[in-house]
Amino acid sequence: MKGAIQPDHIKVNKYELIVLGLPPLVFTAISGIEDELQTTDLPDQTTASGGNKLPFEFTADLPAHHLVQQAAMEVWFIEGQDPVSPTYKKIASLVLKSGSGLAFRSFTLMGVYVSKRGTPDLEMENEGELAVITWTLRGDEMFPI
């Protein structure tokens, strides 16, 4: 049925990003993650697979008023700074859920770390939108489960 959302369709507003070693984090938005192969240019003007997967990067928005979650992200960010902690790279699971909760798709993200923190744009004329801190996360590999 065209345009109708079925109960077992996976919805873009039903997701969870679970990072091992951190408390539950409630991100209000997560950008798409591209899992990409390394390529090489050939002399005949075509390309071929380089055989290896490239690292990935994505952003995740966390409400500024979620103080415990923000503190956990700050500690994780500090782990990647000099002197770098041996545990700064973590394992995470991205779980996409259906409307019924019976169907899901999940991905394991290996070697994930925080590479950037961004504060929101602020303006006095705003009517009070939710302030979020945007965290940029990078990782080594992504595997579908």
Kindly state the average pLDDT of the residues 131-142: 98
List the chain domain ranges: 10-35+52-120+130-144
Q: What is the pTM of this model?
A: 0.89
Residue 1 has a pLDDT of 52
- Of residues 21 and 101, more confidence is placed in 21
Question: In the chain, pLDDT over 90 holds for what percent of residues?
Answer: 80
Cα separation, 42 vs 7, in Å, equals 46
Residue 85 CA: distances (Å) to CA of 57, 92, 97, 100, 113: 20, 18, 33, 41, 11
pLDDT tens per residue, range 1-57: 566 777 778 888 889 999 999 999 999 999 999 999 999 999 999 999 999 999 999
Alpha helices, DSSP H only, in the chain?
67-79
8 A C-beta contact, residue 20 and residue 110: no
pLDDT class for 137, splitting at 50, 70, 90? very high
Residue 2 has a pLDDT of 64
Kindly state the average pLDDT of the residues 104-130: 94
- Of residues 101 and 67, more confidence is placed in 67
